[in-house]
Copies of this chain bind each other. A is one copy, B any other.
Amino acid sequence: MILDSETKAVELPDDHGTELRLWLRLLTCTTLIEGEVRSRLREKFDVTLPRFDLMAQLDKVSDGMTLSDLSKRMMVSNGNVTGLVERLVESGHLDRRTSETDRRVQFIRLTKAGRAEFRKMAAEHEKWIADVFGDLSPKDIRELMRLLAKTKGSAQRSAKARSA
């Protein structure tokens, strides 16, 4: 308990320590898991996480996606995607094709080989993730999902307020 000069109980002004600790814990969890996934992908499939993530986005659709779509979904910059796609086309995992109706637009797809390769990796990946969260009960998972959804909403609100 803290008392001010007039001997009244006061709160510490702007004590946001709990939020900060929460953020650090969230960051630690993500870094930990991300690092683990990164090593395993490298070790077993000799692929980087960004490449895997990009292929994961493309695997969700059958008919391709533009670079901008990829950029938005992966939450990385446009220039970043340009380079990643370039390397993945080079290695034969992806296929690019210019739009007929808008010559600025490129549709990116997984090649047959690329999709097969990705599916193999994704199956393993899913098991790793299940193991990573293995100590959590179904109830824990549901609750965590709910709280993270709320967190996401809150963060978006905060980001939006700034940029507005």
Interface residues of A (CB under 8 A from B): 14, 16-23, 25-36, 40, 75, 126-136, 138, 140-141, 143-145, 147-159, 161-162
Contacts and interface: CB of A to CB of B under 8 A. Distances in A.
Contacts of A153: 135
Contacts of A29: 26, 148, 151-152, 155
Contacts of A147: 136, 140, 143-144, 147
A162 to B, nearest CB: 7
Nearest to A43: B162
Tally of this chain's copies: 2
Contact of A132 (B28, B144, B154): B154
Nearest to A74: B31
Nearest to A75: B31
A143 B145 CA distance: 12
Contacts of A23: 33, 129, 132-133
Prevailing SS type, chain A contact patch: helix
A145 B22 contact: yes
A33 B154 CA distance: 10
23 contacts: A16-B126, A19-B126, A19-B129, A19-B141, A20-B129, A22-B141, A23-B129, A26-B26, A26-B33, A28-B75, A29-B148, A30-B30, A36-B158, A131-B158, A133-B154, A133-B155, A134-B154, A136-B147, A136-B151, A136-B154, A143-B143, A143-B147, A144-B147
A155 B32 contact: yes
Nearest to A21: B145
